[in-house]
């Protein structure tokens, strides 16, 4: 996909960052299987850390799937600081078409940004649902990401090397962010 995903990624990061300060029930379950709120926050920090490392030419597996050791009152600052570093690395236009190593294979940089953009919005939705807040991001943002993700993430197969659950049929009144989460296999508990 030739669209520059970086402005969308920055908007998704801002949306998700705004949800973090309201998270207080850190042991509460989330729609993301196996993640409570604290673990989800640690994963969100890890996703932007991994995006940065990939943009710098490093191994994304050098960053754990879940960052730990952040005090509960420090998640918003940790996420914002890590995201700002990742966004600064990806500001280099040459990275969009450079082949990089992402957890899902060697892909053009733009594909990496799209992947982490999807993760950011889906896990932002998870966090909002788990903490009882409006889970919908800007409809234009979520709609654009949903269209792109449906083009590059097939409905089948899922599982194994495709780390997403089966597509969930959306509720008739689901907004585009919830439909994106559903496409990624997430549903309200």
pTM: 0.93
Predicted pLDDT of residue 189: 66
With beta carbons less than 8 A apart as the criterion, state whether 149 and 51 touch. Answer: no
Cβ contact 187:178 at 8 Å: no
Alpha helices (runs of H) in the chain, residue ranges in sequence order: 6-19, 37-55, 75-89, 109-130, 139-152, 176-183
- pLDDT of 168 reads 87
Residue 157 confidence class, pLDDT cut points 50, 70, 90? confident
Residue 150: inside a domain, yes or no? no
Domain-embedded: residue 64: yes
Provide the domain count of the chain. 1
Residue 141 reports pLDDT greater than 60: yes
Which tops the pLDDT comparison, 162 or 163? 163
State the angle between helix axes of 176-183 and 139-152 in degrees (0 to 180), rounded to the nearest 10.
20
**Distance (Å, whole) CA 50 – CA 16:** 17
Asked, for residue 189, whether it belongs to a domain, the answer is no
Q: Specify the pLDDT at position 1.
A: 54
**pLDDT band (50, 70, 90) for residue 160:** low
Residue pLDDT, tens place only, 38-90: 999 999 999 999 999 999 999 999 999 999 999 999 999 999 999 999 999 99
In this predicted structure, what is the pLDDT of residue 177?
96
pLDDT for the residue numbered 58: 95
Residue 82 lies in a domain: yes
Mean pLDDT for all residues in the chain = 92
Assess whether pLDDT exceeds 70 at residue 158.
no
Between CA 183 and CA 167 the distance in angstroms is 5
Per-residue pLDDT, 156: 78
In this prediction, residue 162 has a pLDDT band, given cuts at 50, 70 and 90, of: low
Domain residues for the domain of 107 are: 6-138
Strand partners for 108: 99
In a domain, 42, yes or no: yes
CATH number at residue 36: 1.20.120.450
Q: pLDDT digit string (tens) for 119-135?
A: 999 999 999 999 999 99
Residue 35: inside a domain: yes
Would you say residue 128 lies in a domain?
Answer: yes
């Amino acid at each position: 996909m030739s669209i520059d995903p970086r402005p969308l990624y920055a908007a998704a990061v801002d949306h998700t960052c705004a949800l973090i300060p309201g998270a207080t029930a850190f042991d509460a379950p989330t729609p993301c299987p196996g993640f409570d709120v604290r673990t989800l926050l640690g994963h969100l920090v890890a996703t932007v850390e991994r995006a940065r490392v990939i943009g710098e030419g490093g191994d994304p597996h050098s960053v754990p799937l879940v960052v730990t050791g952040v005090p509960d009152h420090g998640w918003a600052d940790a996420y914002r600081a890590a995201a700002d570093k990742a966004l600064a690395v990806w500001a280099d236009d040459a990275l969009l078409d450079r082949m990089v190593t992402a957890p899902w294979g060697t892909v053009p940089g733009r594909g990496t940004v799209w992947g982490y953009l999807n993760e950011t919005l889906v896990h932002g939705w998870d966090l909002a649902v788990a903490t009882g807040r409006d889970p919908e991001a800007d409809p234009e943002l979520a709609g654009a990401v949903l269209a792109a993700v449906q083009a590059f993430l097939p409905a089948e197969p899922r599982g194994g090397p495709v780390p997403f659950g089966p597509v969930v049929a959306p509720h008739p009144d689901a907004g585009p962010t919830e439909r994106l989460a559903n496409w990624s296999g997430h549903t309200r508990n």
